Structure 1
Amino acid sequence: MPTTLSALHSQGQKLYQKGDFKAAISAFTEALSQRDADAIGILDNRAATYCKLEQYDQARRDARHMIKQAQNDERGYLRCAKVLLLESKPDKALQIYEYGLKMLPNEHPRRGMMEQLCKKLEDRMMLNRQDPFTMLPLEMAALVIQHFSFKNIVGILRVCKSWERFFGNMRELWMNIDLSGARQKVPWTAVRAYIRRSRGLLTHATLKNLALPSTPKSIEFLSRCPRLEHLELWVNHDYKDIFQKFKGCKYLKTIIFSAEIAVPHSALEKVLTQFPKLERIEFWSVKHSPLTIGEGNWPQSLPNLKSITLASQQATTTSPPSALIIPNLNHSLSNIPNYPNLQELRLDWDPPIYRKWLFFPPPPPDFEAEEGEQEETVQLPPLRRLELNGLTISSNFCSILPDTLTYLSLRGGSVFEAPYFDRAQKLEKLTTLIMEDAPWVKTATVNALVCDTQAPLRVLHIDECFNFTTDDFKLLFQYMKVRNPDAFEMTELSIVQLQGSDDEFIKVICTQLKKLKILNLSKTSITGCTIRDLADSKLSGSSDIANLDRLYVRGCERVSSDAITYGRERGLEIIT
């Protein structure tokens, strides 16, 4: 057996030529351990041998060692690129060639050869590439690109010049400017370029993530678009300037202002008058206007208005706060203004110092119908969605709800005493009921909203309502069996921080509500036993307990990571 360095290296090469690759690898490996060995040459030979055995990961490892030990030696780059080509990874091989050309000095004797190999590989790859959008008919290419977000479309323009020309001239792609997905501040020059691509005929605009100096110019450019229908501004700007600039936009159907744009309540009259085609308004910072307390001066007829969102955080000494007043919301007390098509109503009251606001109080005690007339019933317009945040509901709340309601969300409110609902309207279309952080939520109120309304609930949230416990929930099940059995068909339940929630109670939940697919148990006292039971049930397909798809366990301190892993391995999606 040769013991010298040259003999070991030479023996490995002879074994390679004979086709005894395993013995050759042993010889090369032993040669590497000798003092003063030609490490780069031996690693190169061993990598080539590994390739013959199709052990490409080992060959790649040797090639990378070559590069690491001698960055000015071209053999490491050439060997690594060859291995990647054998693995059918030409794009990564090209990257290795390009990296090697950066590291090798210009006077290197074999740099020219690497440049030739790099250019040859690049040309070969270009021949195999076909632009999908040039292969498709124009109509199909347009249909494909319309599924991308505005952010994706902007990114596509940077791929190549042909795509920039192709998509930059498709006017229909630029009818909706949405800057909400921008990673960096957007300059006004970009907004101007997008508007020009639409030929100034865009219909939807969402301004967000604008550089502060760019806001006035961007708003100015948008105001010159005569067909604008949707205006959404999440920027800091004066509302007077906005209304002045957009007064000529006769087709506006949606106006959304972020909390950075403060709008006095008295200005809402001008908005509704100036833009008669409005279907949706959202103002997230409404200021009090003392002159509008009470009836207000809104237009007499608002047949197009479908959605109203008003929010205020301004403190007030008046009661009720004028910022969120909607004049004559009901149809019975007055016929002006009229909201015959209002489908969504959201009121958000969150001042630093809370003052009680009773939502939609009943008519005053001295209100009486004239002789020969029947007293009209107070009721909301035909809403489908109602969200009340920070408001307190009164005893007539269930009676004024329209039977068209499908979504009801009640959050906050300062009253501890649960209102006694004197009469409940049947809500045969209500599928979603959300109650969150509401101290007035107790057994009586939940029973009224869930059972007395006979709502076919599919989604129920009772989150952080500290006066409602697991015992109250068990009573609710008893009432549901008698008065609203259809509610047992619900598919989503959230009981965040419900007092008394433990493993035994969750078993009760999942055996009573067998159609559940989503369950939120965040901030409860469950352990990994609950996850184990639910995961095993899902795996076995048992019909005795709910077969969940998703489980939330955020803030559950008694749930271990092992239990979460166990559940996920059995197909249960667990959100932590």
Structure 2
Amino acid sequence: MARRMSPEEYQAIGRSYYKLKQYEKALETFSKGIEACPTADLYDHRAATYDKLGNLNAAVKDGREMIRLNKKDVKGYLRTASILEKLEKPETALGIYKYGMKNVPPSDKNFKLLQQLHDKFTRKLSPASAIDPFTVLPAELAEMVLEYCSFRHMVNCMRVSKGWRDYLSKLPKLWMHLDLSGARRPVPRSFVNTAFKRSEYRLTRVTIHRFEHMDVLKNLAKAAKDLTELELISVPHTMSATLIDVVKSAPKLKKFTIHPEITQDTAVQIMHARPVLEHVVFGALRSRGAATNWTTSFGNLRTLGMHWSSPVSTVNLGLHDLLARTPCLESLALSNVQHIEAPQGWPRDEAQLPPLKSLALKRMDLLVLPLLPPTLQRLVIENDGGEFDLQHILPLHKCCVPELTHLAISGFKGLGTEALGDILDICSHENETATCSTRKPLQSLTLHGLVDSSSNHMFGLGQEARMESIFGDSPRVLTPALESLDIATMPCDDDDIEKLVNLYKTGLKTIDLSHTQITGASIKMLADKLPNLTTITANNCAKINGRDAINYAERKGISVSCQMAEQKGGRRLRYG
């Protein structure tokens, strides 16, 4: 009887044929061995033989048989995946490697090889996550993307690689605005000089912060022939002469803004040094106490902001004279100014007023509301005294503001039912029908303060709602044109909100009810009744005690802010 050969003997004979490149005989031997006693090694060798003969599909089948016979043997996964790679099926090969990593124990000496091949295929098949966009995007698109970056972010981009640094340094358009507002530590003079060179000496805007070398700034103003805007967020110390020289050195300068404190004399000299300025803002002025002597006209000035660190009189400021020398002034912002009611504090005739479109009077102690020009579109009044209600500070000569669309009033003792009507509707013109027949309705209204004791309801009652409302009977207030309403700190409750949404048709998009007595019911009413509403602010409303109403509004696409101040011994709550 013939002796049966063992799998090892079939394997040895087949390998001998394989080494001699007699692949047909090797295939026959391995096949006989598998028929007699199939083992993973025999399938492995036959798969290799099929590979040499070009029968890759048969080789894959043998590889899968290896895995079926022993899932913990790494050789079946390696053989099968390598053949699949030759068949140009990388996704299937990656699946085999993943399956192998689940079944092969990490203690196996070849597990790391399996993991490395898995990671290699993953990187190969995954989209590249580190492609340099500057090598893919057209130059025009790359520049458009970079223009959305802040100056600080653009500087950080230069640290990514040498290629990025070289690319960004050769785009002068990105360096036209030297913006140091984001500086976290002192800026060296070398950086400013380098940035100026990268702009090809064509800087148009400069924002200074944490930069101590004022001599460099002076030289920069001289060399940058196209410099039109200069903003100083911080300066090392008061350098009046240097600031004046900087302004003098920039022939095309149009906008000048300085936030640190300077003297009133320095501010006047700066304006006289460059009378063609169009935009000037002084963030912190220190009064000298004496009257200001204005000797120059400022025919190009469109925007003027003057804010004092301590109260100053309009007489000392020479405001009446200054307004007479600014015939084109459109925006005026003053803070901490007193005695506007003085004879020389403010013009008494419309003809003496510049064509103001925006007037902001903040931190004021008003006794009389100044005469307002008919061109006014935005008015902000923040009273500091609190001695009078709005009814008592109305102008000695009635105003006419048919163009007014944005009004903000705060800081008064009370708001009477006729206060808004006196500002918006009383006309001083002899022929009111001819000149004020088309008064524009308000688009934005802010009222912060107390309701006059004689007014018990914010929005009135019944059919006589307007007459009993602190909003008065003005047809310009609660109209479909009204998009923004801020009545934070006012004595408003759910009943008032119910009247607002039911008795008046408004186009409100945003409403601020912070520090009022509303509950979640008001938020639901606003969400249901105001179809254009996008934002509700209800911070520190103590009667809102849950998220139900907030979630209800948010499901309708309305953003709700409802933060509660931290109480003593408690913690800050945030409902929305």
**Aligned CA distance change for structure 1 residues 324 and 246 (closer, same or farther; 3 Å):** same
Q: Deviation of residue 408 (structure 1)?
A: 0.8
Find the aligned partners of 1:84 and 1:60 in 2 and give their Cα distance.
18
Pick from 303, 318, 326 the counterpart of residue 307 of structure 1.
303
**Aligned CA distance change for structure 1 residues 562 and 249 (closer, same or farther; 3 Å):** same
**Aligned CA distance change for structure 1 residues 415 and 534 (closer, same or farther; 3 Å):** closer
* Coordinate RMSD, CA, aligned: 4.7
- Counterpart residue type for residue 552 of structure 2: Y
Find the aligned partners of 1:129 and 1:283 in 2 and give their Cα distance.
42
Are 1:508 and 2:509 counterparts?
Answer: no
Q: Deviation of residue 403 (structure 1)?
A: 0.9
Find the aligned partners of 1:376 and 1:446 in 2 and give their Cα distance.
22
What's the CA shift string for 1:85-113, capped at 9, x where partnerless? Answer: 55x34438xxxxxxxxxxxxxxxxxxxxx
Q: Is the 8 A contact 1:496 1:523 kept in 2?
A: yes
What's the CA shift string for 1:156-190, capped at 9, x where partnerless? Answer: 44455444444423333322212224455533322
Pick from 475, 493, 505 the counterpart of residue 484 of structure 1.
475
- Counterpart residue type for residue 275 of structure 2: P
Q: Write the mapping of 1:76-475 to structure 2, written as runs, cut at 5 A.
A: 76-80=115-119, 82-83=121-122, 85-86=124-125, 88-91=126-129, 130-134=135-139, 136=140, 145-182=146-183, 185-208=186-209, 210=210, 214-216=212-214, 218-227=216-225, 228-236=227-235, 237-240=237-240, 241-259=242-260, 262-292=261-291, 296-314=292-310, 320=313, 325-329=318-322, 331=324, 338-349=325-336, 357-362=338-343, 380-397=353-370, 400-418=371-389, 419-421=392-394, 422-439=396-413, 441-452=415-426, 455-465=440-450, 471-474=457-460
Q: Deviation of residue 207 (structure 1)?
A: 1.1
Q: Is the 8 A contact 1:408 1:430 kept in 2?
A: yes
What's the CA shift string for 1:318-346, capped at 9, x where partnerless? Answer: x7377755252454xxxxxx210011111
**Aligned CA distance change for structure 1 residues 329 and 358 (closer, same or farther; 3 Å):** same
What's the CA shift string for 1:402-435, capped at 9, x where partnerless? Answer: 1111111111320422225254322121111112
SS in 2 for 1:405: coil
Q: Which has the larger radius of gyration?
A: 2
Pick from 560, 568, 572 the counterpart of residue 574 of structure 1.
560
* Percent identity over paired residues: 22
Q: Is the 8 A contact 1:298 1:327 kept in 2?
A: no
- Counterpart residue type for residue 570 of structure 1: K
Q: Is the 8 A contact 2:265 2:288 kept in 1?
A: yes
Q: Write the mapping of 1:50-69 to structure 2, written as runs, cut at 5 A.
A: none
**Aligned CA distance change for structure 1 residues 424 and 44 (closer, same or farther; 3 Å):** farther
- Counterpart residue type for residue 197 of structure 1: R
Q: Is the 8 A contact 2:404 2:442 kept in 1?
A: yes
Q: Is the 8 A contact 1:455 1:484 kept in 2?
A: no
Find the aligned partners of 1:194 and 1:129 in 2 and give their Cα distance.
21
**Aligned CA distance change for structure 1 residues 269 and 79 (closer, same or farther; 3 Å):** same
SS in 2 for 1:471: coil
Unmatched segments (≥5 aa) in structure 1: 1-9, 32-37, 93-124, 332-337, 350-355, 368-374, 538-543
Q: What corresponds to 2:54 in structure 1? A: none
Find the aligned partners of 1:44 and 1:361 in 2 and give their Cα distance.
95
Q: Deviation of residue 386 (structure 1)?
A: 0.6
Q: Deviation of residue 59 (structure 1)?
A: 7.4
Find the aligned partners of 2:456 and 2:94 in 1 and give their Cα distance.
63
Count of aligned pairs: 474
Q: Is the 8 A contact 1:59 1:83 kept in 2?
A: no
Are 1:554 and 2:539 counterparts?
Answer: yes
Find the aligned partners of 2:143 and 2:360 in 1 and give their Cα distance.
38
Q: Deviation of residue 299 (structure 1)?
A: 2.3
- Counterpart residue type for residue 448 of structure 1: D
SS in 2 for 1:284: strand
Unmatched segments (≥5 aa) in structure 2: 1-39, 45-59, 83-90, 428-438, 562-575
Find the aligned partners of 1:43 and 1:185 in 2 and give their Cα distance.
60
Q: Deviation of residue 55 (structure 1)?
A: 9.0
Q: Deviation of residue 551 (structure 1)?
A: 1.3
Q: What corresponds to 2:27 in structure 1? A: none
Q: Is the 8 A contact 1:253 1:279 kept in 2?
A: yes
Q: Write the mapping of 1:11-30 to structure 2, written as runs, cut at 5 A.
A: none
Find the aligned partners of 2:213 and 2:451 in 1 and give their Cα distance.
45
**Aligned CA distance change for structure 1 residues 144 and 91 (closer, same or farther; 3 Å):** closer
- Counterpart residue type for residue 416 of structure 1: E
Q: Is the 8 A contact 2:553 2:560 kept in 1?
A: yes
